[in-house]
């Protein structure tokens, strides 16, 4: 049985989707959050979220919707410039 506690259902949202997703992600403490969105908008979402930031994203096809899986990026204790002291 699938756990739907970490699912945000935005399948019917057509306007303001990206700000709504960002707002929801800011409230979450989980390491993985799934968002259901309408089909056919993957390009727009890749352009909006791209790479980097606090979340890694994965997109999957659903039966009547697409699914975006947001996984929180683990913080690294390394120097942000990746410089090493010798």
Residues in the chain, how many? 86
Whole-prediction pTM: 0.76
CATH match for 7-72 among 3.30.110, 3.90.1200, 1.10.287, 1.25.40: 3.30.110
pLDDT tens-digit profile of 51-75? 667 889 999 988 889 999 999 988 7
Does the structure show a pLDDT above 50 at 19?
Answer: yes
Does the structure show a pLDDT above 80 at 43?
Answer: yes
Q: For the chain, what are the domain ranges? A: 7-72
> Which segments within 1-86 are labelled E, that is strand?
7-10, 32-37, 55-61, 66-72
Sign of CA dihedral 5, 11, 16, 18: positive
């Amino acid at each position: 049985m699938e756990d739907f506690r970490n699912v945000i259902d935005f399948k019917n949202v057509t306007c303001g989707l990206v700000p709504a997703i960002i707002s929801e992600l800011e409230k979450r403490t989980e390491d993985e959050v799934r968002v259901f969105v309408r089909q056919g908008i993957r390009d727009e979402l890749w352009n909006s979220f791209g790479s980097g930031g606090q979340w890694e994203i994965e997109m999957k096809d659903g039966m009547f919707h697409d699914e975006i899986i947001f996984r929180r990026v683990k913080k690294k204790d390394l120097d942000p410039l990746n410089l090493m002291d010798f």
